[in-house]
Chain A
Amino acid sequence: MAQSRTDRIGTIFSRMTALVRADVIHPNNLPLWYEVYKTFPPKYEPKYNRKPPTTEIQNIFYQEDLIRAKFQNDISIPIIDMKSDDVTKTQIFYTLYECLLQGGVEKEEAYEKAMISYKSIFKTYESKKSHKSTKQNEP
């Protein structure tokens, strides 16, 4: 059977169509995927020589990240078990902080208050990092 092995030119569909147009393949002898492909063509044409897309990758950041980073800098949290669905310590702290913020407390005061109430719930250890550098990294 006639075929075209030029895999980098056009698509499988365009090559098959060209073979039909050139009368090398009878329309009755088309592969069975041909009709399906014709009705449901893929969203992106599978051409090898297409131009690379120019879309930029955006960074994913959240408002909470600042507080989380600050918290994890100040306090060393235990190892997180990724398999369990338990709420992480950082998330508990953030919830406390958020509750205080909604109560109308200022940001820094809320952080300190949340830290005090967090320390009253959990046994905490000072982060090792905080000894080395007092500067807080911005995420």
Chain B
Amino acid sequence: MVSIITRTFSSKLYRDCSILLPLFTYSRKRKLFTKPELRQEEASNIDNLRDINPLSHPDFFHVYDMFTVKDLFDARVHFGHKEGSLNEYMKPFLFGSRLGYLIFDLDQTAELLRQALNFTAHVASRNGVILFIAKNPQISYLVETTAKECQEYAHTRRWKRGTFTNATHEFGSITRLPDLCIFLNTMHSVVEQHMAVNHAAKMCIPTIGIVDTNCDPRLITYPIPGNDDTFYSIELYCKLFKKAIMRGKKYRDDILAKNM
């Protein structure tokens, strides 16, 4: 059974697509919506990998066709909290309110998530250290496993105050801080924001964060509006970020193998 919300979403989606179809040409500043992008052959060809600068291509790692809006919908990304806990900075990302429950606009979520995945893949390809952060105990095992699988780092325990800001003292020697923080949940408790959001901004570390309707998206560099409480949606985010990181790393390994 196709539920009513799907119907509206999909009708909205098709309408958008028909308007945007002529715009689906390669230009860097164009908006990318629900449809996956056409592949460009040269990027997948290993022979001329060295000739292309990854940054010159709008979607070098093919992150735009990694998921569809239907996938997001099936993973329940569109569910927000109730109106009472709304952070006013989250208003532009919302589709509406259904009997007091806020619903995200998945077209916007998809666009922002693709941007974030692209950034992740680029940082991974440049040998960046990526740190997954989630305080929520329900998802900490999943997050840690994801980090392990893509050979990156995770922090899912209590956050000590100096972990970023006083790292040399905290770890006993000069420490390399991560180059990118991915927050699967930006909240520390029901009302408090995770301290690492502030501290990453202080240390000039870019952040990617899943922001629910009760979170503050201002200090997150690449906020992704979406449900951060459901296990299925967290699973989807983890899968996507892992894939993006693996693609970045694969490109780096190919380049290294070619230079040998």
Contacts and interface: CB of A to CB of B under 8 A. Distances in A.
Contacts, number: 105
A46 to B, nearest CB: 5
B20 interface: no
Nearest to A5: B202
Contact of B201 (A12, A52, A60): A12
Given A36-B119, A43-B111, A62-B4, 20 more contacts: A7-B199, A8-B201, A12-B205, A33-B128, A36-B55, A39-B28, A40-B122, A46-B221, A46-B223, A53-B89, A57-B83, A57-B96, A57-B97, A57-B102, A60-B95, A60-B96, A60-B98, A60-B103, A86-B1, A88-B1
A18 to B, nearest CB: 11
Interface in A1-23: 3-8, 11-12, 15-16
A125 interface: no
A46 B204 contact: no
18 contacts: A4-B204, A12-B204, A15-B204, A31-B204, A37-B119, A37-B221, A42-B115, A42-B222, A43-B115, A46-B223, A52-B88, A53-B89, A55-B91, A55-B92, A57-B91, A57-B102, A86-B1, A88-B1
B123 A36 contact: yes
Given A40-B122, A55-B91, A33 B206 contact: yes
Interface stretch (B132-140, B151-159, B184-192, B212-220): B212-220
Contacts of A42: 115, 221-223
Given A40-B118, A50-B218, A85-B1, A60 B126 contact: no
Given A33-B123, A52-B88, A47 B204 contact: no
Interface residues of B, number: 47
Contacts of A32: 123, 126-128, 179
Contact of B4 (A36, A46, A64): A64
B30 to A, nearest CB: 12
Q: Among A46, A52, A91, find the residue whose CB has the most chain B CB atoms closer than 10 A.
A: A46
A53 B92 contact: yes
A32 B1 CA distance: 48
Nearest to A47: B218
Nearest to B57: A39
Q: What 6 pairs between A and B have smallest CB-CB spacing?
A: A7-B201, A60-B96, A60-B98, A36-B122, A7-B202, A5-B202
Contacts of A86: 1
A91 B97 contact: no
Contact of B115 (A16, A40, A85): A40
Nearest to A68: B4
B126 A5 contact: no
A59 interface: yes
Contacts of B163: none
Contacts of A87: 1
A99 B157 CA distance: 56
Given A31-B179, A36-B122, A58-B97, A52 B127 contact: no
B112 interface: yes
A3 B203 contact: yes
A37 B20 CA distance: 26
Contacts of B4: 62, 64
Contacts of B221: 11-12, 37, 42, 46
Contacts of A91: 1
A18 B33 CA distance: 34
A20 to B, nearest CB: 12
B43 interface: no
Nearest to B100: A59
